[in-house]
Structure 1
Amino acid sequence: MRPTQIMMGGGGDVPLGKFNKYLGGWGALGGMKQKRIVTYGISPNRQNPFAGAAHDAVFNTARRVGSQILYIAPPFIGAYLLMDWATHRNEYLNSKAGRAEFGDSEE
């Protein structure tokens, strides 16, 4: 006696697979259609894709900057202090007092 289509896994007048089993519809190959799964959706024109984007951008940026500030600030502060010292030193060496003090030596 041959089993019915329901006992083999479902399907009506659909082709059976290699082992006489129902393969399912397109996209669900290998099993029966799933039941009792509820999906909900909302129309694209009812969505607000930028809801809270400005708020999130401000606080996300503050969080990310706060986590990286100790890696970025010390080199910038050191570079600023070095350039400030070099500028003042250059201005002094090219001034009247600097030329009088270091005029005979080459630095």
Structure 2
Amino acid sequence: MQPTQVRLGGGSNAPIGRHNNFLGNWGNFGGMKQKGIVSYGIAPNRQKPLAGAFHDAIFNTWRRFSTQVVYWAPPMIAGYYIMNWAIERNEYLNSKAGRAEFASEEE
């Protein structure tokens, strides 16, 4: 049984597939085979998904770290020294010697 004219989309010479299905329009199923496209595949049990991952991780991490360290290291070092100074100053001002030195200013 041949497909009807409506099913063929109005064309009288539309290609009919192996199982009497219309093979036109969407995706050009009935068209010529494409040339020049090569695809390769490898079996899943032959792949090494982590090949070189640890080696690359070490050197990639070092490369990224070395380019960014100049942006975050100076503020971190400055912040450390400022906090260290503030802690020592606070301990001195709250010690016996610091209270004696600045006792006249509190009144």
More helix by share: 2
Number of the residue aligned with 1:52: 52
1:72 aligns with 2:72: yes
Closer, same or farther: CA 36–102 of 1 in aligned 2, 3 Å: closer
Determine what percentage of the aligned residue pairs are the same residue: 61
TM-score (structure 2 length as normaliser) = 0.68
Q: Which runs of 5+ in 1 are unaligned?
A: 1-11
Number of the residue aligned with 1:39: 39
Whether the aligned pair in 2 keeps the contact of 1:93 and 1:99 (CA below 8 Å) is yes
Q: Which runs of 5+ in 2 are unaligned?
A: 1-14
TM-score (structure 1 length as normaliser) = 0.68
Give runs of ≥4 in structure 1 deviating > 2 Å: 12-18, 35-40
- One-letter amino acid of the structure 2 residue matched with residue 89 of structure 1: R
Number of the residue aligned with 1:105: 105
CA shift digits 1:60-106 (9 cap, x unpaired)? 11000100001000110111011000011011111111111012223
Paired residues, number: 88
